[in-house]
C-alpha cells in the first residue's frame, strides 16, 4: 500500500483551493458539522475536491479525483448562527476510493502527491506579483495572507488561480499541473490578454 495514502473525509465543493490557499466556509449540514467536529477532535485534515456533477448540499456529488488536502485553522459561530471555518490548503492529493456514510458524509482513501517546492518567481512575472499584492491587500483578514510569499512562483500562481475570475474547470486544469512555472506562465498569459500586466 502507498505509504502516502490516508483515509480522510472528502468535501466536494464548487471551488478549487491550492496548497497555501485559505478557504472560508459556512457549515450547516449535519454531515459536515460531524466532519468538522471529527477533524478538530482528531486533528485530522479533509480533502477539497471540485464537484463535476451535483451540488454542495443534498445527495452525494460526483467530483474530480485530484484535489487538495486542507486543515482547519480557525472556526467561529457566525452572526447567522452557522459555523464558520477557515481551512488552509496543504498539498495536492488524489482520491483513490470513496464511501458514503448513512448521513451522506463521504470519506475515502487518498494518495498525497509530492509537495511543491518553492520556485523563485522569474523577473518577467513581477507585474503579476504586484497585481496579486494589490488584490490581497484589499481582502479582509485572514484572507489578506499576512505570511504571503510574493517571490515564490508556486505561491503566487496558486493565489492568482484562486482569486482570478476563471472558470472552475480551468482552475482544476491549473491544479492538475505539476509545474509551478508552467502554471505561472499560463496565468501570466491571461493577465497580458486582459491588459492587467
Q: Are 35 and 9 in contact (CB under 8 A)?
A: yes
Per-residue pLDDT tens, the chain, 197 aa: give them: 455 789 999 999 999 999 999 999 999 999 999 999 999 999 999 999 999 887 666 666 789 999 999 999 999 888 787 899 999 999 999 999 999 999 999 999 999 999 988 999 999 999 999 999 999 999 988 788 878 899 999 999 999 999 999 999 999 999 999 999 999 999 999 999 999 98
What domains sit in the chain, N to C, each tagged with a CATH number? 5-112 (2.30.130.40), 123-193 (1.10.4060.10)
What gap in Å lies between CA 94 and CA 21, rounded to an integer?
Answer: 18
pTM, two decimal places: 0.90
Q: Are 62 and 53 in contact (CB under 8 A)?
A: yes
Amino acid at each position: 500500500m502507498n505509504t502516502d495514502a490516508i483515509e480522510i473525509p472528502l468535501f466536494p465543493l464548487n471551488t478549487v483551493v491550492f496548497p497555501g490557499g485559505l478557504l472560508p466556509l459556512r457549515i450547516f449540514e449535519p454531515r459536515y458539522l460531524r466532519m468538522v467536529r471529527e477533524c478538530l477532535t482528531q486533528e485530522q485534515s479533509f480533502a477539497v475536491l471540485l464537484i463535476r456533477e451535483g451540488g454542495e448540499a443534498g445527495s452525494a456529488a460526483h467530483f474530480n479525483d485530484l484535489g487538495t488536502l486542507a486543515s482547519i485553522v480557525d472556526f467561529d459561530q457566525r452572526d447567522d448562527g452557522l459555523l464558520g471555518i477557515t481551512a488552509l490548503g496543504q498539498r495536492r492529493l488524489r482520491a483513490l476510493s470513496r464511501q458514503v456514510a448513512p448521513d451522506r458524509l463521504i470519506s475515502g482513501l487518498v494518495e498525497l502527491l509530492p509537495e511543491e517546492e518553492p520556485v523563485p518567481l522569474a523577473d518577467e512575472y513581477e507585474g503579476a506579483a504586484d497585481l496579486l499584492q494589490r488584490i490581497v491587500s484589499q481582502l479582509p483578514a485572514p484572507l489578506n495572507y499576512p505570511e504571503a510569499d510574493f517571490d515564490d512562483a508556486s505561491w503566487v500562481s496558486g493565489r492568482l488561480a484562486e482569486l482570478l475570475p476563471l472558470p472552475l474547470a480551468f482552475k482544476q486544469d491549473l491544479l492538475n499541473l505539476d509545474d509551478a512555472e508552467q502554471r505561472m506562465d499560463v496565468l501570466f498569459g491571461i493577465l497580458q490578454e486582459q491588459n492587467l500586466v
